[in-house]
Structure formats: structure tokens, C-alpha cells
Amino acid sequence: DLNKSGKVSAKSPSNIALVKYWGKTDPQIPTNPSISYTLTNSFTETTLSFEPKKADELEIRVFLDEVEKTDFVPKIKKFFQRIEEYAPYLEDYDFTLHTHNSFPHSSGIASSASGMSALSKCLIQMEEELGYKVKNRLQRSSFLSRLGSGSACRSVYPGLVTWGESEFIEGSSDLYAIPLEKDIDIHPVFKAFNDTILLIHEGTKSVSSTVGHQLMNNHPYAQLRFDEAKQNIKKLLEILKSGDLEAFGKLVEHEALSLHAMMMLSDPAFILMKPNTVSALDKLWAFRKETGLPLFFTLDAGANIHLLYPDEGKEKIEAFIQSNLLPLCQNEGIIYDRANFEAL
Ligand code: PMV
């Protein structure tokens, strides 16, 4: 029924990559596979209202926490244009989006993964309301999410998720993500994992991921980076099966530093860490050396730090975070999150 108006809602979490996606070709095809943890407490909730189109030009209005955001519109229009060949009904409607993030918008936490996956889930529901029979719902919402923001396609599944074709993972694809649990037996230590996010620097990132991905074209170290990431998928799979925490930390921290190294070696060059990022990493390494406790870090394309640690030893680790790392956060900004293994 194409003359229908309606309203649909969806919630979707953010995710943190362990093996990073950095570099892509058109249309959002990753230059290497990635693996992430889906998160629990960092999420976006979106309500999408649609009504039959009034004028030729597509109308989209976006409200973040009830405040209209005209600057969000171009990104969503671009997304809708990109998926129009897979969702041709889009051109017959006008849209209003109301969206809310569980984390502060200025926190420097990327909302694109949770935001684009929440919107894609809304579209799937809209399709069903219009009477389309959607087969393979999760795969389709991951596929659509990917075209909104690459990393968003991993947020559709709980737990450990992989995106990008890998010779080491059966069923892996450049077009959508798949949950890892289907292929491997994940060691219990990796099934109850904490991700505490230090908000070192509020405000927008100095490099958008769009620019960052672009800088991997003609980057002198790009091919080495892509090859290494492909091998790191194989290594991480072994680690996830064996439960080797030390090897996990080594690999995940190396991935984070490689991402930042790529930025430092690009033209133009970018340093995404702030002085307090470096201080915190210094303290973390000293703490680990002293105590032997399994506290590790990863970074996204910004100054914030994701602290990764299992439940065992959690009390001592969190006492250290409170007393030594929290003072390095802007306005004491911290998010206690964890890997999400529940059905979404
Ligand atoms: O999804 P994008 O285009 O915002 O890229 C995200 C890239 C990283 O967060 C740095 C790494 C990743 O795999 O999520």
C-alpha cells in the first residue's frame, strides 16, 4: 500500500572494532575485514515517520532530542540516494526522524554506527508496514546499514561480529556483517568483556572517518596495513578460541596504534591523540607491568580510549581507572559499557 503514512521505531547499539576497518572503495566496500564487539549502554533510538511525498524534492527533517538538526539532513539524503536501488519505495515519501543517543552528542563517541543501524532497522519495519515480505531481515538491515556507514553494519548483531570478506571466515562478505559465533567457539573469558570509555576530549573529531578512509588511497603504507589486518583476523580468531588474554591485548593494542600511525603518516598528517590520551596509555602500561592484570586499550579515530578487560579482576582494575585515569577525562567523562551478547 504505497499511499500509507506510518511511524516506526528502532534501537541499535554502537560497536568497537578490535581489528579496524580503515580504507574503502565505492560503494562502502572495505579494503580489509574487521571484527568488533557490539556494545550495550551506548545506543541510538530512532523514530521514523513517513508520509506520501508532497513535492518533487525529497523532504527529510531530523530532530536530535527534539531539536531540529538541519546539518544532519545531507548525510541522510546521501544515504537514501545510495540505497534507492535496493529500496525504490523511498522516492515516494517524505520523512521525519526523531533520534536520541544514550551518550552525550559532544562526547566524541561516533554516533554513525548506532545511528545508521537504527535508521536501517526503521526502514526494514517500514518495508513490512508497506506490505513487502522482507526475507533475511538481519542480513538486509546489515546491508543497508553498511551503505549508511561502514562500521554500522556490524551493529546489527550482538557479540563478536565480522564484516568484510576473509579467507578465514566462512560466509564472510564485503556487503554485510555476520556474527562470529556461528563459525567459532568463543572462549568464555571473551563473552563477558568490559569496555569502559574514557572521554578524553569532547567535541568533534579532528578527522572525519570519510576523510580518514580517503587518506588510505595513495597512502605509502596502505597495502602493508591491509595485508596485516587480514592476517590479524586469523590471529584474533585463534585468540578468541583459546582465551589467551595476553595475546588479545597485544593484537588489539597494535591494531589501535596502527590506525593512528596511518593517520600520522598520511598527507596531510593528523595526530588524533591528545596529551591526556598519551598520559592515560602510559599509566595503563605501567599499571599492567606492575600488577599483571589484564587491562588493555583500543582507540577509534579520535582522542578517546576504550579500556577493555574481562570480569575477572574487575574490582582492582576499576579502582585504578577511578583514581588514575578518570582525572584525565574532560569533565570526568566516562562511560561504563560492555560487550553485548544478548539478542538485540
Ligand atoms: O564506519 P566509519 O566510516 O565511520 O568508519 C569507522 C572506522 C573506525 O571506527 C576507525 C574503525 C572501525 O572498524 O569501526
Indicate the domain borders of the chain: 6-182, 188-338
Paired strand residues for 339: 39
CATH topology assigned to domain 6-182 = Ribosomal Protein S5; domain 2 (3.30.230)
Q: What is the pLDDT of residues 115-173, one digit of tens each?
A: 999 999 999 999 999 999 999 999 999 999 999 999 999 999 999 999 999 999 999 99
Residues in the chain: 344
Q: What is the pLDDT of residues 52-80, one digit of tens each?
A: 999 988 899 999 999 999 999 999 999 99
Q: What is the pLDDT of residue 1?
A: 61
* Ligand 1 probe mutation, 16, 21, 260, most atoms within 8 A of CB: 21
Question: Comparing C-alpha atoms, which of 315, 309, 310, 335 is closest to residue 198?
Answer: 335
Higher pLDDT, 181 or 216: 216
Is the shortest distance between the CB of 13 and ligand 1 below 6 Å?
no
**CB neighbourhood size of 264 (10 A):** 12
Ligand 1 centroid to 212 CA: how many Å?
9
Average pLDDT score, the chain:
95
Residue 233 in contact with residue 33, Cβ under 8 Å? yes
Q: Does domain 188-338 have CATH number 3.40.50.10440?
A: no
All three cell numbers of 287? 599499571
Q: What is the pLDDT of residues 274-298, one digit of tens each?
A: 999 999 999 999 999 999 999 999 9
Q: What is the pLDDT of residue 114?
A: 96
Cβ partners under 8 Å of residue 78, min gap 6: none
Ligand 1 centroid to 221 CA: how many Å?
18
All three cell numbers of 51? 508520509
Q: Tell me how far apart the terminal alpha carbons of the chain are, to the nearest angstrom.
A: 29
Cβ partners under 8 Å of residue 262, min gap 6: 22, 215, 216, 219, 221, 222, 225
Q: Where are the beta strands (DSSP E) in 169-217?
A: 177-179, 193-198
Is the shortest distance between the CB of 146 and ligand 1 below 6 Å?
no
All three cell numbers of 166? 576473509
Residue with cell 597495502: 223
